[in-house]
Amino acid sequence: MRTLLILALVAFIGVAVEGKKFSQCALVKELLKHGIPKNEMANWICLIEHESGYNTKATHRNTDGSIDYGLFQVINMFRFYL
């Protein structure tokens, strides 16, 4: 859970500051730097490829009006508190 929270924060900051489209190899290196175990790497890469195409600037507007951002398509929770 802690790893997911850290990666979500990294993905969100990447969208807010500047966008980057990773190559698969560059993304693997970055995830390893942030503590993702090698035996879980295939699952993480598959998730990111299908959610954002390795693009930190990826967004998706959902049918409920919320917007997902970044590599992992993390939902913008602030909308629910406003």
- Convert the pLDDT of each residue in 61-78 to its tens digit: 888 888 888 888 876 555
Helix, strand, coil shares of the chain, percent, nearest 5, are 55, 10, 35
**Percent of the chain whose predicted confidence (pLDDT) is above 90:** 29
2-81 under CATH 1.20.1070.10, yes or no: no
Distance CA 31, CA 41 (A): 8
Residue 40 among the catalytic residues: no
| Catalytic-role residue among 18, 30, 49, 51 | 51
Given a cut of 70, whether residue 10 has pLDDT beyond it is: no
Rounded alpha-carbon distances, angstroms, from residue 58 to 17, 33, 38: 13, 22, 25
| Catalytic-role residue among 30, 49, 64, 68 | 68
pTM recorded for the entire structure = 0.67
Residue 64 among the catalytic residues: no
Contact status, residue 54 vs residue 27, Cβ threshold 8 Å = yes
